[in-house]
Amino acid sequence: MKRKGVKAALSLLLAGSLVLSLFGCSSDTASDKHAADAADSSQKITAGTYAASAKGYHDDVKVEVTVDESGKITQLVAHADGETPKVGGEAAPKMVDRIKESQRLDCDVISGASLTSGAILAATEDALKQAGVDTSKLKAGETAKGEDEEVTVDVVVVGAGASGTAAAAAAIDSGAKVLMVEKTNNVGGISKFFAGGPFAVESHLQKEAGPEYAKLKKEDLLQQLNAYSHFINYGPLTKAIVYKSGDTIKWMEKWGVTFHVNRETPQISHMDNDMKWKLYHWFDLFSYEPTEIAVTDVVHKNLKDAGLDLRFETTATKLLQDDKGVVNGIAATKKDGSTLTVHAKAVILGTGGFAGNSEMMKQYYNTSYLGGWGENGSGVNMAWDAGAAKWDMASSLLHGSGMVAAATKGDVSLANSPFNRITRSPLMWIDQSGNRFANEELVWDTAETANAAYSVGGIYYILMDTKTLEAYTKGKTLMMDTAVGGPNMDQGDFVALAEEGVKQGIITKGETIEELAKALNMETERLVSNVKEYNQVVQTKSDPYGKSEKSLVYEVKQGPFYAVKMQISNLGTLGGVRVNEKLQATDENLKPIPGLFVVGNDAAGFYGNITSYPTFEGLATGFAWNSGRIAGEHAAVHVKQ
pLDDT for residue 21: 35
Are the CB atoms for 444 and 548 separated by under 8 Å? no
**Amino acid (one-letter) located at 315:** T
pLDDT for residue 43: 62
For 35-71, what is each residue's pLDDT tens digit?
A: 445 444 446 899 999 988 887 765 678 889 998 988 9
**Amino acid (one-letter) located at 37:** D
Q: Torsion over CA of 186, 188, 191 and 195, rounded to 10 degrees? A: -110
Other CB atoms within a 10 A radius of the CB of residue 24 amount to: 14
For 338-375, what is each residue's pLDDT tens digit?
A: 999 999 999 999 999 998 888 898 899 888 787 666 78
Angle at 84 between CA 80 and CA 85, to 5 degrees: 75
Q: Find the range with the poorest average confidence among 85-99, 317-331, 523-537.
A: 85-99
Query: DSSP characters for 426-480?
Result: --EEE-TTS---S-GGGGGSHHHHHHHHHTTTSEEEEEEEHHHHHHHHTT-PPP-
H or E element at residue 422: helix 420-423
pLDDT for residue 83: 67
pLDDT for residue 10: 39
Are the CB atoms for 26 and 96 separated by under 8 Å? no
Q: Torsion over CA of 480, 483, 484 and 487, rounded to 10 degrees? A: 10
For 106-127, what is each residue's pLDDT tens digit?
A: 887 775 566 788 889 988 998 8
- Tell me the mean pLDDT in the region 319-325: 96
Percent of the chain's residues with pLDDT above 90: 64
pTM for this prediction: 0.82
Provide φ and ψ at 346, rounded to 5°: -145, 140
Could you tell me which residue, 426 or 394, shows the higher pLDDT? 426
**Amino acid (one-letter) located at 103:** Q
For 596-612, what is each residue's pLDDT tens digit?
A: 999 999 999 999 888 88
pLDDT for residue 57: 60
Over 80: is that where the pLDDT of 143 sits? Answer: no
For 235-248, what is each residue's pLDDT tens digit?
A: 999 999 999 999 99
H or E element at residue 565: strand 561-573
For residue 191, what pLDDT band results from cuts at 50, 70 and 90? confident
Cα–Cα distance measured from residue 131 to residue 487, given in angstroms and rounded to the nearest whole number: 46
Q: What is the mean pLDDT of the chain?
A: 88
pLDDT for residue 371: 63
Asked if the 398-570 domain carries CATH number 3.90.700.10, the reply is yes
Helical residues (DSSP H) of 174-322, grouped into ranges? 191-194, 204-209, 211-214, 218-228, 235-254, 274-277, 295-305
Cα–Cα distance measured from residue 526 to residue 515, given in angstroms and rounded to the nearest whole number: 13
For 423-476, what is each residue's pLDDT tens digit?
A: 999 999 999 999 999 999 999 998 899 999 999 999 999 999 999 999 999 999
pLDDT for residue 463: 98
For 471-497, what is each residue's pLDDT tens digit?
A: 999 999 999 987 766 788 999 999 999
pLDDT for residue 368: 79
Are the CB atoms for 573 and 374 separated by under 8 Å? yes
For residue 23, what pLDDT band results from cuts at 50, 70 and 90? very low
428-452 burial, b for 16+ CB within 10 Å, e for fewer?
bbbbeebbbbbbbbbbbbbbbbbbb
Q: How large is the angle between the packed helices 235-254 and 619-639, nearest 10 degrees?
A: 90
The sheet carrying 346-349 orders its strands as 309-312, 178-182, 155-158, 346-349, 592-598, 584-586
The CA distances from residue 285 to 168, 262, 292, in Å, are: 21, 14, 10
Q: How far apart are the first and last CA of the chain?
A: 51
Over 80: is that where the pLDDT of 507 sits? Answer: yes
Cα–Cα distance measured from residue 242 to residue 606, given in angstroms and rounded to the nearest whole number: 10
- Tell me the mean pLDDT in the region 90-111: 84
The CA distances from residue 49 to 39, 66, 119, 124, in Å, are: 17, 4, 18, 11
For residue 410, what pLDDT band results from cuts at 50, 70 and 90? confident
Cα–Cα distance measured from residue 521 to residue 515, given in angstroms and rounded to the nearest whole number: 10
pLDDT for residue 443: 95
Cα–Cα distance measured from residue 596 to residue 360, given in angstroms and rounded to the nearest whole number: 23
Q: Domain 152-286+333-395+575-639 adopts which CATH fold?
A: FAD/NAD(P)-binding domain (3.50.50)
Listed by start position, the domains of the chain span: 6-138, 152-286+333-395+575-639, 398-570
